[in-house]
Structure 1
């Protein structure tokens, strides 16, 4: 499993801030139609949740892709910190102990992978939704093992995936 650095956390926070700024409908619009405003942020949040779960997978193709994405994000973020603001490379970001997924929790991640890919590849899906799915997944991968609020969300998400997988496969078996 790849460990997140300060650069990786920075990339994740940049993705989150960019998304929130471009999503913000304005206070008046938000008061007028809060459900509509929340619905426009939903693809990002769903993909963020998937990204957090993907980085918690220990192995396999999905785990390798998530680890590689985090490695690239760490490198990009560290380079930006060094060359952009004069920081130091290789600083480790604070991480949390993650809760591993059970076999049925990992199966839920596989099912979610198919859902994310199917929605992103669907011809009628608007390009904004496709972009939100990609950005949300990337952000979740970057922040899923950080020690911030996003990292602490990983434990209940893993527990929920493990429970959902147990319930689903308990019914199927």
Structure 2
């Protein structure tokens, strides 16, 4: 089943993603007395879920890829509205010109990561909204050109190669 996706990110979507990242980093910074490498582990769930969101938006299609695409459309629309009506700015398209798609092994890694995230979300403590916001951050930044999207650009070949190697496609 191949559900078409139209992965485009506007400046508004990038602003939403960077705002979520700024929120988490500011909360981490203001909540720590010691700012050392050991305290960085508190940002690990945010970073891992953001990287997962970047992988979702790099998915070629299907239900998960379409959900990520709709999410990207939503964050871009919200960010565009804030830019245009909030500060009177414009929201140009800032999608990277070279679109990277995951290989079949990379798609396998996305499925495995989805199962892991669902296992974490289904714990008895309730739904983790912080992880959901982190995934939104990754989806919003994954296709961005420039520094905001560099992790998505680097992540795609690494995950695809690792997934192909593990499942025996190489």
Normalised to the residue count of structure 2, the TM-score between the two structures is 0.88
- Mapped contact 1:51–1:138 kept (Cα < 8 A): yes
Rounded to whole Å, the distance in 2 between the matches of 1:6 and 1:151 is 12
- Mapped contact 1:96–1:146 kept (Cα < 8 A): no
| Count of residue correspondences | 164
Q: Structure 1: which 5+ runs fail to align?
A: none
Q: Structure 2: which 5+ runs fail to align?
A: 1-5
Is 1:92 the counterpart of 2:97? The answer is no
Rounded to whole Å, the distance in 1 between the matches of 2:97 and 2:138 is 14
Match of 1:142 in 2: 140
Two-structure CA RMSD over aligned residues (Å): 1.9
Structure number with the higher helix fraction is 1
Query: Pick from 152, 155, 160: which aligns with 1:154?
Result: 152
Equivalent residue of 1:24, what SS? Answer: helix
Match of 2:26 in 1: 21
Rounded to whole Å, the distance in 2 between the matches of 1:96 and 1:25 is 37
After TM superposition, give the deviation of residue 94 of structure 1 in Å: 4.8
Rounded to whole Å, the distance in 2 between the matches of 1:167 and 1:4 is 31
Match of 1:133 in 2: 131
> What is the CA deviation profile of residues 49-102 of structure 1, one whole-angstrom value per residue up to 9, with x for unaligned ones?
0000000001001100100000001110011111100123x5212524232100
Given the superposition, is the C-alpha separation of residues 57 and 158 from structure 1 closer, same or farther in structure 2, using an over 3 Å criterion?
same
Normalised to the residue count of structure 1, the TM-score between the two structures is 0.87
